[in-house]
Structure 1
């Protein structure tokens, strides 16, 4: 098409009267030119629309508009970037595009606070809403349980059952195989000649707050706890540190579990552990036995009975030959009597040297007094009585 044809076409559009005075044969060319121009403009408009759509899609990530439907579990792993999380959400059908989530994360300064774990989200969510749900810990796909220091395995099973809905019986069954749950073989040996019960999980259920996947079985839950126990023992260098006392890690664990129950204040964990070592291993204490109410009470509890305060324990209970934790058993107790925490564990492997063979709580704040002889111990007991401690 010539420039003249274009000119004619535009001229005709601007002033209808002018083209009427042209030659008749020129009118056909003008009409054709006008038609072609309209087609050309229409084509350009169409191409422009398509191009706009492509550009719009490039600069604005595809995103769902609604709040989403249904439920889907997604996992945020350790070390995940916003892009990693975005890809996970896209594959799970939560967001329409990974780019939409990345954009939402860039726009929200709190996005860096997303925690590791499993979350319950919805499918086909607006990316910003998905991010908000990840930031709300209520949406974590977990059962949260806190195991405090000093409680026994039966109490722990009860707590775990209430939080997860898994029957206590399932935990008891799974707990009978500590080695299968991840307890290393080194924990089933002692240096004092006593045998370790390979079915006893007591002492290995490390006190902490845990988050368990909602679909976890009893064994899965206990494996997570044991994994944490192993990590904490590694952090404390517990195995090597206990060797300095010429005892096995298991014996030190037993001492820690007793100190956890006997000592009320952190500063007494180590000194109490030293008293236990002095009684059990030096040969300078009559019978080389522990003679502790706490071990006797442990046996009562795992036998389905209630623990008793010191003044209410019967002589027959203290010396019960059927109780392997009784007053007369020589050496360190045959196993842990609680779940010791970090402070008690540290106390067991850093127990300060002393010639003490006795300890007793002497005031309402929980402070301990120590004695080298029975006479000193009796004096400390009188002090405790004057301070209102019910042991007289």
Structure 2
């Protein structure tokens, strides 16, 4: 929403063009570029001629930054990161991804994105969701889910729990087999990660009272999957949810070395 005059003022202030450069302003008018100039952060220098500068501004060749969204981040953590990196405003982003009952939790694909500053919440949400859809098609998420009797939504919920429970990639298929076996037997999932999701601030150790919190996300109280994902899982957690190890495991506990023991 920035007009050509403001852009020219900024160029003058930063000494990219001379003060009161009427030639530059006339050139913009002659070429009918008043509405074509894109606002943003550019790499420009005073040694560039007017047409080179205008070419960059019309094409919108802004500086882009690499932003990595870690696997297992919740919508709130993603919003905080994007806000800190000046890509999108936290509140606007959250309004878009958590609209009443509808949430994009689970579908904001963790990846490295190249975006300019002030890219805007709407654009980055669109980018992350379309990335998820692309990866879902490439890896046949929906077909694989149906083959094992799940919907894609259910698989993403399960993958989000696996993401939070298994720190090591090689354990994910085993953790997945525990949850699949429990679901088949009608047992409660009893996942600590779902309790941590309910709590505003995650705790080092959960106590008895935490396990009694009445929430549909409490898998110690309620059977089956929670109503939605508890984070945005990465590809290996989703693949683990789709391809559990063929074992009869029903339990896992944390061992001394930070790895799990399955039984």
TM-score normalised by length of structure 1: 0.51
**Aligned match of 1:344 in 222, 237, 241?**
237
Unpaired segments of 5 or more residues in structure 2?
A: 1-14, 18-30, 34-40
Q: CA deviation at 1:265?
A: 1.3
Q: CA deviation at 1:69?
A: 3.1
- Output aligned runs, 1:287-298, within 5 Å: 288-298=187-197
**Aligned match of 2:142 in 231, 236, 239?**
239
The whole-number CA distance in structure 2 between the counterparts of 1:256 and 1:233 is 13
Partner of 2:66: helix, strand, or coil? strand
> Does structure 1 conserve the Cα–Cα contact (< 8 Å) formed by 2:16 and 2:46?
yes
Partner of 1:315: helix, strand, or coil? coil
> Does structure 2 conserve the Cα–Cα contact (< 8 Å) formed by 1:292 and 1:327?
yes
Q: CA deviation at 1:124?
A: 7.0
Partner of 2:124: helix, strand, or coil? helix
The whole-number CA distance in structure 2 between the counterparts of 1:169 and 1:122 is 35
Q: CA deviation at 1:316?
A: 2.0
Structure 1 ranges of 4+ moved more than 3 A: 118-124
CA distance 1:167–1:245, shift in 2 (3 Å): same
Corresponding residue of 1:201: 104
The whole-number CA distance in structure 1 between the counterparts of 2:77 and 2:46 is 39
**Aligned match of 2:16 in 69, 79, 89?**
69
Q: CA deviation at 1:198?
A: 5.1
The whole-number CA distance in structure 2 between the counterparts of 1:367 and 1:212 is 36
1:328 and 2:221 matched: yes
Q: CA deviation at 1:295?
A: 0.4
CA distance 1:292–1:145, shift in 2 (3 Å): same
**Aligned match of 1:280 in 183, 207, 210?**
183
Structure with the higher helix share, 1 or 2: 1
Corresponding residue of 1:219: 122
Corresponding residue of 2:250: 357
> Higher relative CO (CA 8 A, sep ≥ 6), structure 1 or 2?
2
- Output aligned runs, 1:242-281, within 5 Å: 242-281=145-184
The whole-number CA distance in structure 2 between the counterparts of 1:155 and 1:349 is 26
Corresponding residue of 1:164: 86
* Cα RMSD, aligned residues only: 2.8
The whole-number CA distance in structure 1 between the counterparts of 2:248 and 2:101 is 34
CA distance 1:292–1:153, shift in 2 (3 Å): same
Q: CA deviation at 1:207?
A: 0.8
CA distance 1:247–1:323, shift in 2 (3 Å): closer
Partner of 1:156: helix, strand, or coil? helix
Q: CA deviation at 1:203?
A: 0.9
- 1:187-231 Cα offsets, whole Å, 9 max, x none, are xxxxxxxxxx85122111111111223343211111111111111
CA distance 1:264–1:322, shift in 2 (3 Å): closer
> Does structure 2 conserve the Cα–Cα contact (< 8 Å) formed by 1:362 and 1:368?
yes
CA distance 1:347–1:322, shift in 2 (3 Å): closer
Unpaired segments of 5 or more residues in structure 1?
A: 1-67, 71-90, 94-117, 134-138, 178-196, 372-392
The whole-number CA distance in structure 1 between the counterparts of 2:141 and 2:87 is 34
